[in-house]
Chains A and B, each alone.
Chain A
Amino acid sequence: MNPAWITGAAALRERLLSPAQAAPDAPAGALPPYLESFLAHLRLLVGVPFEYLVPDSRLLPEESIRFFYVDRSFTDRLVDGALAVGKVGTREQAHHQAQEPSLRATLDRTERVVRILQRGAAPFAQARQQAAGDAAPAQVTTGFLLRSAAVASWPDMEVRALAREGSGGAVTWQPLTTLRLERLQTSVLVALFDGVPDRVTCEEPHHGVTFGIDRSGANAFRLAVRGPDGSAVTGAPPVAVPFRAGGRGVVAIAELRRRLHAQNVADPARVIAQTGPGAFAVSVLDPPWRQRFEGTGGHPVAPPGGSTRPLTVAARAADPAVRAAVEEVVG
């Protein structure tokens, strides 16, 4: 009889040690992806009713922009509240207590990719990979609320936050990560940034940039001459805009192009060549308006280490017993 090519014991050992079987699977107690994503969104106040953000409408009047810091304690309480669902006994409490430090660190990372998720740019697992490398705890989160008809009319306005680096002549502007940019209502826009910006810009959406001309007289309009990159050519005389006869304000487009071409012939190095509709568009488009917000003033920031204001008991404590008790506590 031929000897067996493999013995039973060797086969069993092989099977039990096969990588597919012995590979460590994810621990059962890991944070489920949906839960993690939900809590990260909650950290950025996604889904929090507007009344909780702005308890009184007079805090955000019409046609106003209000800058703010996000209260981290508030967002931590939101997460605590969410985890209180189904928390019926001490076992759940012990579980939450034990998981809290790692959960907080995880969400500090995951909240940076919420915008990727909101844009639908990447699935959760992939987005989370991006966040995994950056283990730094969450910084100060800032932002603004903008309530204006401009939000309704230009819903795609481009928002950027920049931080100043360096001083004197060597100032550079570093863009901050935008954590959230979303319209809460038709005319209310909320933006959250990772860090404290020194300058925030709101720019007209580029796809909505329009043809713009300057009024040079009661009935006359003119157009600045532009270079190939769209910047205005300094020193070049503006082109008078021709109109069709008939008084309807119809611009004679072909004639305007002929005049722009003449400008190019006169100064081919600096003025854009009229090669086609694209070049024509560049020479007649108004550059997008970029509104800067910088050094808004406002309240002085409390010095680090907390306020040194002495505590006083106000006379507004209505109940004399409460007042006496508080006075006793405060001394």
Chain B
Amino acid sequence: MAEPTPPPAQGQMRVYDRMELPLLPGAHRLQTQVAVAYDGGTATLQGERYFTVDGPRFTLSPDEVAAVLPPRNGSGAFSELLPQVVLHRRTLPWERSLGAPASSGAAPAPGAPPALAGDAPWLTLLTLVDGEHTLLESIPLEQIVPADVLARLGQPAGVVCDAVEVSSDVLAGVLPSREELALLAHVRRVNVLDRASAGSDPDGWFAVVMSNRLPPPGARCHCYLVSVEQRTDLVAAAPPPAVEGVSPGRPVKPLDAVALEGLQSMSRARGFDVSATFPPARRRLVVLHHWGFDAIASGGTFRERMQALDVGLFGDLPADGGPAATDTGHVALDLHDRAGAVESVWYRGPLCAQPLTRDTLGPYHSADQARRVSPETGAEDVTYAAAFEAGRLIAAADGRLAQDLARWRRGAYDDSARGGTLAAVEAALPLSPALAATLPQAVATTIAVGALARFAAAAPDADASGLQAVAAAPGLDPQAVAAAWRLGSAADATAILNGAAPGAALPAAAVAPPPPASAVETLARLSAARAALAPPVASGAAPLSPSLSSSGRTAAVPRRRKR
């Protein structure tokens, strides 16, 4: 999805009305129709696929909840703020709906604010005090919602979820109306660069659902994120009338319970039981998330907690004493030395109240190297020795690190050996300056190219086999040819070599290999010349003589003896 705008600057936040998914959760049908025209006719190809878009409906994973306010199980002066739940999934409140529009559709009355667009969201946050609610865990959906709502939900079967049970008059008093449902949910986009929780929600988008009730001071409160999907039986179109200056609620017993108690005591006095005839109407709602907190008279908010902090530099000690410490931040600790004796030593962590200069004596190779004695006290300062050991133990606990460390060292030794080799090569091998520059990068290539250049440059002795030179050279050293082929004299060799003048140099660029045929011809010619000039050696050491070769073969056939 393309980002329409960059994230807000650090310290800023953007607020949006609502955020809708292009494709809502539920079962969808995809129909495709392609009209094909071809020579002599037309045809229509049709296809149909069904697919389901899934989303949280009757349960919500705790991972989806980014934050709850007031804090879970918190205790503080929360009676001047409205509880809220922050969701990672920014579209969640609008993925399903109440089943009714947020505004009635009629033109707003004069003086009334503009009407709200879209359906009312399906999530709302109820704040209830102890005594007003009962949490029912893992009960079938059929026991939570009435039959007509279940039908409108699509008759989901086998759903088990949590529910909250509230008496009908309490619920009517706290449940937002349609318009209020919409007003109590919005989307925020914040900048996440300044936060500690790394990687939990890198995009900074959140959906927020607020409650409409101030937690009464001195009460144990509970917040329920409930689903009102299709609950038009409970959510009123218009809110009850407002009044001025009503005191925020105190922990009160629900009216029906009080009434029931009174009725029961009256009825018991007259000898009959009315509890069966006076059932308080209870309503149930699907619960997606819930938490509790204590609202107390004062303290406990972010502002109060931060302002009450004891501010100081590290090493400041509490007024009522503290560890034995010096003004430099060193703390006296007991240490068992190598002999097992207890020794009092100084230690200071990496955090200190003054800026310190960096030790330039490093690196240290053992912890003992970093031990110091404080001249003022005569006691040992084990700070840096402890740091060394801490680093060593942390690193030793990491298997991959040990491997990398070994690889790093081995690589460095290899590099070093290679450097030495290169220096030796450079000293021994006269390379052109251009090639010498590339030597460290590509040793094999450079040496090969250098050799090739030398080979091309002249010397026939660079051709180990001699074949190429023999074939291509206009002239060779007849002595060498005579020695190689056991010719009788250099003159014979000269004759075989077609009388070319010995020692004629190769042209510098002529490195073209000879055609194979000419080499064979030369060999055959040399063999023939040798056969003509020198008598064959008695042993079978002259493989190139055809006659010997054939006689040898004859002699090699074993003769079979008769017995």
Contact = CB atoms under 8 A, between A and B. Distances in A.
B195 A158 contact: yes
B440 to A, nearest CB: 8
A97 B363 contact: yes
A105 interface: no
B364 interface: yes
A255 to B, nearest CB: 4
Interface in A46-96: 47-49, 52-56, 58-61, 63-87, 91-93, 95-96
A274 B249 contact: no
Of listed A149, A208, A293, residue having the most chain B CB within 10 A: A208
Nearest to A175: B10
A32 interface: yes
Contacts of A56: 322-323, 325, 331
A302 interface: yes
B350 to A, nearest CB: 4
Nearest to B410: A28
Contacts of A265: 111
Interface residues of B, number: 167
A82 B366 CA distance: 11
Interface in B316-334: 316-318, 321-323, 325, 327, 331, 333
A205 B84 CA distance: 13
Given A21-B442, A71-B352, A250-B249, A27 B411 contact: yes
Interface string B125-162: 00000000000000000000000000000000000000
B401 interface: yes
A250 B449 contact: no
B401 A34 contact: yes
Interface string B177-212: 101101111111011001111110010001010101
A55 B330 CA distance: 10
Contacts of B396: 85
Given A49-B390, A317-B377, A86 B331 contact: no
B198 A77 contact: no
A65 B310 contact: yes
A120 B456 CA distance: 57
B195 A140 contact: no
A82 B331 contact: no
Contact of B190 (A92, A207, A275): A207
Interface string A187-219: 001000000100000111111111111110111
A35 B354 CA distance: 31
Contact of A299 (B302, B307, B313, B384): B313
A220 interface: yes
Contact of B309 (A65, A92, A278): A65
Contacts of A159: 194-196
Interface stretch (B39-47, B54-62, B511-519, B531-539): B511-519
B241 interface: yes
Interface stretch (B74-82, B489-497, B551-559): B74-82
A262 to B, nearest CB: 7
Contacts of B359: 72-73, 76-77
Contacts of A270: none
Given A73-B356, A74-B349, A276-B17, A220 B245 contact: yes
Contact of B322 (A34, A58, A178, A245): A58
Contacts of B424: none
B465 interface: no
B214 A249 contact: yes
B310 A22 contact: no
Contact of B314 (A68, A212, A291): A68
B249 A145 contact: no
25 contacts: A16-B445, A34-B400, A48-B350, A60-B314, A69-B351, A81-B393, A81-B395, A82-B391, A82-B401, A85-B396, A115-B198, A120-B199, A153-B71, A155-B197, A243-B244, A243-B248, A245-B246, A249-B215, A252-B239, A252-B240, A254-B183, A279-B17, A289-B303, A298-B313, A314-B378
Given A59-B325, A82-B392, 12 more contacts: A8-B513, A48-B394, A55-B349, A75-B350, A76-B358, A77-B364, A96-B365, A120-B202, A159-B195, A207-B67, A278-B17, A281-B208
Closest 5 CB pairs of A and B: A317-B378, A81-B391, A249-B248, A28-B411, A29-B412
